[in-house]
Amino acid sequence: MSDDINHAIALPESRKAAVTQAAAYYQEVHQKNEELDAEVARLKVELAGYKVTVEVLQAQLNDAESKVATAMATVDQHKAARLEFEALFVSCQALFRTFKIPNAPTVRELQEQADGVDR
């Protein structure tokens, strides 16, 4: 390249050296720019992979949160049902006391008595 410059334009040696140095600097900058462009492209691909990973993890987190919310709702329903039964049993117990109905043995106790098993 420097030979082309020397033949095309007659330059003093100091200018020839400056032109040669500028051309070399341009080549360095251009090569560095290409390397940085390649690194940016590689980092963009890496970033895209991380974005996909984050989306997958976010989906898993949303699924887990949904399952927890469903489980909490189920627990709340069962607690409400339990409270209803407790209220029913308390009401029955109050009725038995009010009408002076004595405690009766359970079905299991009656079966054991009929079978002759004593515990």
Q: Is residue 115, in this structure, part of any structural domain at all?
A: no
Q: Is residue 89, in this structure, part of any structural domain at all?
A: yes
Q: Please check the confidence at residue 8 and state whether its pLDDT lies above 70.
A: no
**Domain hosting residue 89, numbered range:** 2-102
Q: Is residue 82, in this structure, part of any structural domain at all?
A: yes
Give the per-residue pLDDT at 27.
Answer: 96
What is the residue type of 4? D
Total structural domains within the chain? 1
Cα–Cα distance, 63 to 69 (Å, whole number): 10
Q: Is residue 87, in this structure, part of any structural domain at all?
A: yes
Q: Is residue 78, in this structure, part of any structural domain at all?
A: yes
Which of 40-44, 102-106, 107-111 is predicted least confidently?
102-106
Q: Is residue 113, in this structure, part of any structural domain at all?
A: no
Q: When comparing pLDDT for 92 and 36, which is higher?
A: 36
Q: Is residue 91, in this structure, part of any structural domain at all?
A: yes
Look up the pTM and report it.
0.54
Q: Please check the confidence at residue 110 and state whether its pLDDT lies above 80.
A: no
Ramachandran region, residue 43 (left: φ > 0; alpha: ψ -120 to 50; beta: rest):
alpha
Structure tokens that stand for 62 in this block: 């949303």
DSSP for 3-58, please give it: HHHHHHS---HHHHHHHHHHHHHHHHHHHHHHHHHHHHHHHHHHHHHHHHHHHHHH
